[in-house]
């Protein structure tokens, strides 16, 4: 094989390798852009998720305070009901005593 044929073959290999390297560079650049875009989307998603989480947390805090208020009110109502029941029982006892005292003794 002559020198000129070898040079032509080397140039052909070089051109093929150069084309492959350029394609690889292009693919790498596209991949890098996709990674950057995905990273930005993930940051936005995390920010939105954090906002939604904070909103849910505030709602839960409101619900918890409402539940606490309802629980306190229910306990106060039960306590008052118990007090009224005791007062009623005392009145019935007093009424029963009064009625027994009102009957003539035999």
Provide the pLDDT for residue 43.
97
Structure tokens at 106: 């035999």
**Residue 93 banded pLDDT, cuts 50, 70, 90:** very high
Q: Is the pLDDT of residue 16 over 90?
A: yes
- Hey, what's the torsion of the CAs at 15, 20, 26, 27, to 10 degrees? 170
CA distance 88 to 97: 14
Q: Which residue has the higher pLDDT, 32 or 104?
A: 32
12-18: Cβ within 8 A, 24+ apart: none
């Amino acid at each position: 094989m002559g020198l000129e044929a070898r040079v032509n073959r080397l140039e052909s290999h070089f051109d093929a390798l150069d084309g492959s390297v350029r394609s690889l560079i292009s693919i790498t650049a596209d991949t890098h852009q996709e990674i950057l875009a995905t990273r930005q989307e993930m940051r936005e998603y995390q920010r939105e998720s954090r906002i939604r989480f904070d909103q849910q947390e505030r709602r839960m805090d409101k619900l918890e305070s409402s539940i606490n208020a309802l629980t306190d009110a229910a306990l106060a109502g039960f306590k008052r009901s118990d007090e009224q029941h005791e007062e009623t029982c005392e009145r019935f006892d007093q009424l029963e005593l009064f009625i027994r005292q009102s009957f003539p003794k035999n």
